[in-house]
Amino acid sequence: MEKREGEGEGEEEQVVNPWTVSAKGGGKIDYDKLIDQFGCQRIDQSLVDRIHRLTSRTPHVFLRRGVFFAHRDLNEILDAHERGEKFYLYTGRGPSSEALHLGHLIPFMFTKYLQEAFRVPLVIQLTDDEKCMWKDLTVEESQRLARENAKDIIACGFDVTRTFIFSDFDYVGGAFYKNMVKVGKCVTYNKAVGIFGFTGEDHIGKISFPPVQAVPSFPSSFPHLFGGQDNLHCLIPCAIDQDPYFRMTRDVAPRIGYQKPALIESSFFPAMQGETAKMSASDPNSAIYVTDSAKEIKNKINRYAFSGGQDSIEKHRELGANLEVDIPFKYLSFFLDDDAKLEEIRKEYGAGRMLTGEVKQLLIQVLTELVERHRRARAAVTDEMVDAFMAVRPLPNMFN
């Protein structure tokens, strides 16, 4: 049963919201407990198989390996698709830094797969207003970072005939703002505190923000795209720390005459130093960035990627690697597409027949190729291309 807004928020064992992700004692996030706390559902193999059948495409590696592991009403989206009804995708990015790390790319890589597999339109929200309010950024700097981040998003390969990218500073108004007001009237201050953990020290800009992220879930917020299609379904791929926004949205939607958006949610991408560490812009060695050179990638993985291997070769041969904590193996499980190769590494490395250095060398190769592909694609993105994606216009190839 789905939790209503605010339920389960008082649990202190772990805190997961859009601004804080922490587990008690600095431990790992317990995703089973999080599913129970949030009231979403786990994605099982039957759901993956159903997506495979409906799209006639091999499910994305993030789906096959449980990176996207939880959902809300995904079956309803698939039911609608089978009936010939249309839906659109909505995802976003808070532009707070110049360069994206690999964790930032995950929702966009997966959303691109969904867009291609289901042949549906996509809206991408750049919350430059949010980052201006939460970070020490000026309005102008937030807007500049939004355009820079848009280039990295476009470089993931989205179809301009099916994709609308917008920044809040540029787009909010009209029908979008009307929906914000409708949502805002339905959520009391006490409920907002229960959902998001606001305190008396937070300025009112923060408290007023959640409706901004809620209303792209409603097709009427985009009359230039979906005019007259107010019952269009919406599917939101996102990390699970964004769930509080959409629990609120799903609670409000029927009260203002809209359908509840469906969600497909991912786990968190671990820091180089391990799952209990945090990726931080203040520590460039905590993550691989899409601007890193081949030399930097090699150095970071060899020096900083936490290993589950044993202290000596003899002990490693005897006991094998602890794959539960080994970051090189975890990163390969995200980015090595070959299932058979990954399973071979799991067996050989876990049994001690493969050494940490060998696994790191393979990871260096995989990530260097990925980052170089992204760098080439981003270099080809011009300001005119950004303007084209962000232009308020109909999408001619929307459902074709």
DSSP string, 290-303: TT--HHHHHHHHHH
Q: Which CATH architecture has domain 294-380?
A: Orthogonal Bundle (1.10)
Closest to 149 measured CA to CA, from 109, 99, 184: 99
Buried b / exposed e along 94-116 (16+ C-beta atoms within 10 A):
bbbeeebbbbbbbbbbbbbbbbb
Measured between alpha carbons, how far is 180 from 160 in angstroms, rounded to an integer? 27
3-state SS of 182-207 is HHHHHCCHHHHHHHHCCCCCCCHHHH
Partnered with residue 234 across adjacent β-strands are 88
Structure tokens at 264: 């497909």
User: Which CATH number is correct for 26-269, 2.60.40.10, 3.30.750.24, 3.40.50.11890, 3.40.50.620?
Assistant: 3.40.50.620
Residues of the chain with pLDDT under 70: 1-12, 277-278, 280-282
Measured between alpha carbons, how far is 76 from 82 in angstroms, rounded to an integer? 10
Cα 359 to Cα 34, 165, 333, distances in angstroms: 31, 38, 12
Residue-wise pLDDT for 166-203, tens only, equals 999 999 999 999 999 999 999 999 999 999 999 999 99
Q: How many CA atoms lie within 13 Å of 183's alpha carbon, on the beta-carbon side?
A: 30
Q: What is the dihedral of CA 118, 41, 243, 81, to 10 degrees?
A: 20
Question: pTM for the full model?
Answer: 0.94
The reported pLDDT for the residue numbered 278 is: 66
Work out the burial of residue 119: count CB atoms within 10 Å of its CB; fewer than 13 is exposed, 13-18 middle, 19 or more buried.
middle
* 100 neighbors 152 (Cβ within 8 angstroms): yes
Gyration radius of the chain over CA positions: 21
Measured between alpha carbons, how far is 364 from 294 in angstroms, rounded to an integer? 8
Question: In the chain, what are the domain boundaries?
Answer: 26-269, 294-380
Structure tokens at 192: 């907002």
Cα 358 to Cα 28, 274, 333, 352, 365, distances in angstroms: 26, 19, 15, 11, 11
